[in-house]
Amino acid sequence: MFSYAVFCVPTTVFRSLFFLIFMTAFCSAQVAQPAEKAEPGEHQHEHGQGEHHHLHLVLGEEKCAPTYTYEESPTGPSHWPELCTTGKMQAPIDIEHAEKLPIGNLKFNYQPSDLDIINDCNQYRVVMKFPDNYWLTIGKRPYFLSEVHFRAPGENAVKGKRPRMSVQFVHFSPEGVFLIVEVPVVAGKENPLIKTLWENIPEPGKEKKVPGLKINAADLLPADRNYYRFPGSLTTPICNEGVQWYVTKNPIEMSEEQIVEYTRHYHDVARPLQPLNGRPIHEPQ
Domain that holds residue 20: 11-35+47-284
Sequence-ordered alpha helix ranges (H) in 51-110: 83-86
Rounded to 5 degrees, φ, ψ at 281 are -120, 130
The verdict on residue 42 lying in a domain is no
Instruction: Round to whole Å and give the CA distance between 182 and 117.
Output: 19
Q: Is the dihedral of CA 199, 129, 236, 166 positive or negative?
A: negative
CATH of the domain at 208: 3.10.200.10
48-62 residue pLDDT tens: 333 444 443 444 565
Q: How many domains does the chain have?
A: 1
Nearest partner of 174 among 38, 70, 80, 8, judged by Cα: 38
The one-character DSSP state at 77 is G
User: Digits of tens for pLDDT over the chain (285 positions)?
Assistant: 553 332 233 333 333 333 333 333 323 232 333 334 333 333 333 333 334 444 434 445 656 555 788 888 898 999 999 999 999 999 999 999 999 999 988 999 999 999 988 876 555 566 788 887 788 998 888 999 988 999 999 999 999 999 999 999 999 999 989 999 999 999 999 999 999 999 999 887 788 899 999 999 999 999 999 999 999 999 999 999 999 999 999 999 999 999 999 998 888 889 999 999 999 999 998
Instruction: Tell whether 5 is covered by a domain.
Output: no
Q: Quick check: is 40 in a domain?
A: no
Q: Is residue 3 part of a domain?
A: no
Does residue 4 sit within a domain? Answer: no
Give the integer Cα–Cα distance in Å for 142 and 32: 11
Q: Does any domain span residue 126?
A: yes
List C-alpha distances in Å: 245 to 134, 198, 278.
19, 27, 16
Q: Is residue 41 part of a domain?
A: no
Residue 230 lies in a domain: yes
- Global pTM reads 0.80
